Structure 1
Amino acid sequence: MANTYIQLYVHIVFSVKARHALIPKRHKTELHQYITGIITKRKQKVIQINSMPDHIHILIGMTPGIALSDLVQSIKIGSTRFINRQGWIAGKFQWQEGFGAFSYSRSQLNTVAAYIENQEEHHSRQTFHEEYLEFLKRFNIPYDAKYVFDLEAPLESPRR
């Protein structure tokens, strides 16, 4: 795209379907590498990635040529297939529909990257539900609480 210059930094957050704790800690690095590969193949840059058993945070540098929703769809579809092929859980792994995306300036990248890197420490004080609602409020995003999370009964369990 000649004469198109873009500098977008986006923090993407989404959860496991029904917020079940299905991302095994022992497989986090492998999952992060796989997702990084998906993003890199789409010509985007991963700045920081980290997950908890029930959700994931990804900070990316966006370039023109792809819609954010298309990128997130690629991440979810590709990583779902990967996790299911690996057999990390008994049953079928799925991400929840939808996602949160929050933009930051270049001067905020170190702070956001550190926040993502320190998820385990952060979640010792705050649940994912509280964290996500805080993001929506901080960014002044209108929402209806009954549609934020799909909280159906668990159908799957992690493999031991």
Structure 2
Amino acid sequence: MPQSLANLYIHLIFSTKDRFPFLTDDVRPDLHAYMATVLANLNSPAMLINSVQDHVHILFTMSRTVTLAQVVEDVKKSSSKWIKTQSPQLAAFAWQAGYGGFSVSESNVPKVESYIRRQEEHHRVKSFQEEYQAFLMKHNIQYDERYVWD
């Protein structure tokens, strides 16, 4: 086959270090826009980005020429540097070391978008840890509890 083609949707989730509530209402819209720009520069355009105070959900189309690890590294590194410049209260900002990347089928994209849009509502009744563990179980990802949280 002479062409290399792909249509891969990824639901990416990661939190702030120690789930510290750095992501306030005033910083989130600009953070989402910044992250969308980083993703676009990686040819992995964001479809939807939303967050609550301690974590981010990103639905994006994966580039066929960049690995997931490269995308995550660039998004986290760039956005961490950027957010630290936004106010003195954010100077100690850091993302957690890890992340969760989950494949999404084309037919399931609307459902995932709806889920991401409703983060504030969702987290009135479920913590980030509970949500993340549910994702790991749903996607049959084996993990060691000692190394999931930082």
Q: TM-score per shorter chain, which class?
A: over 0.9
Aligned to 1:67: 67
What SS does the aligned partner of 2:26 have? helix
In 2, the alpha carbon distance for the partners of 1:49 and 1:89 equals 23
Structure 1 residue runs of 5 or longer lacking an equivalent are 151-160
**Greater relative contact order (Cα 8 A, min sep 6): structure 1 or 2?**
1
Aligned to 1:10: 10
Aligned to 1:42: 42
In 1, the alpha carbon distance for the partners of 2:69 and 2:114 equals 25
Aligned to 1:89: 89
- Indicate how the Cα distance of structure 1 residues 6 and 51 shifts in structure 2: closer, same or farther if over 3 A, else same: same
Shift of residue 86 of structure 1? 1.1
Aligned to 2:131: 131
In 2, the alpha carbon distance for the partners of 1:90 and 1:80 equals 10
TM-score of the superposed pair, with normalisation by structure 1 = 0.90
Shift of residue 89 of structure 1? 2.0
In 1, the alpha carbon distance for the partners of 2:103 and 2:16 equals 22
Q: How many positions carry a matched residue from both structures? A: 150
Q: Is the 8 A contact 1:16 1:95 kept in 2?
A: yes
Give every structure 1 segment of 4 or more consecutive aligned residues whose post-TM-superposition deviation is greater than 4 Å: none
Is 1:142 equivalent to 2:138 in the alignment? no
Structure 2 residue runs of 5 or longer lacking an equivalent are none
Amino acid at match of 1:135: F
TM-score of the superposed pair, with normalisation by structure 2 = 0.96
In 2, the alpha carbon distance for the partners of 1:38 and 1:125 equals 32
Amino acid at match of 2:113: A
In 1, the alpha carbon distance for the partners of 2:124 and 2:88 equals 24
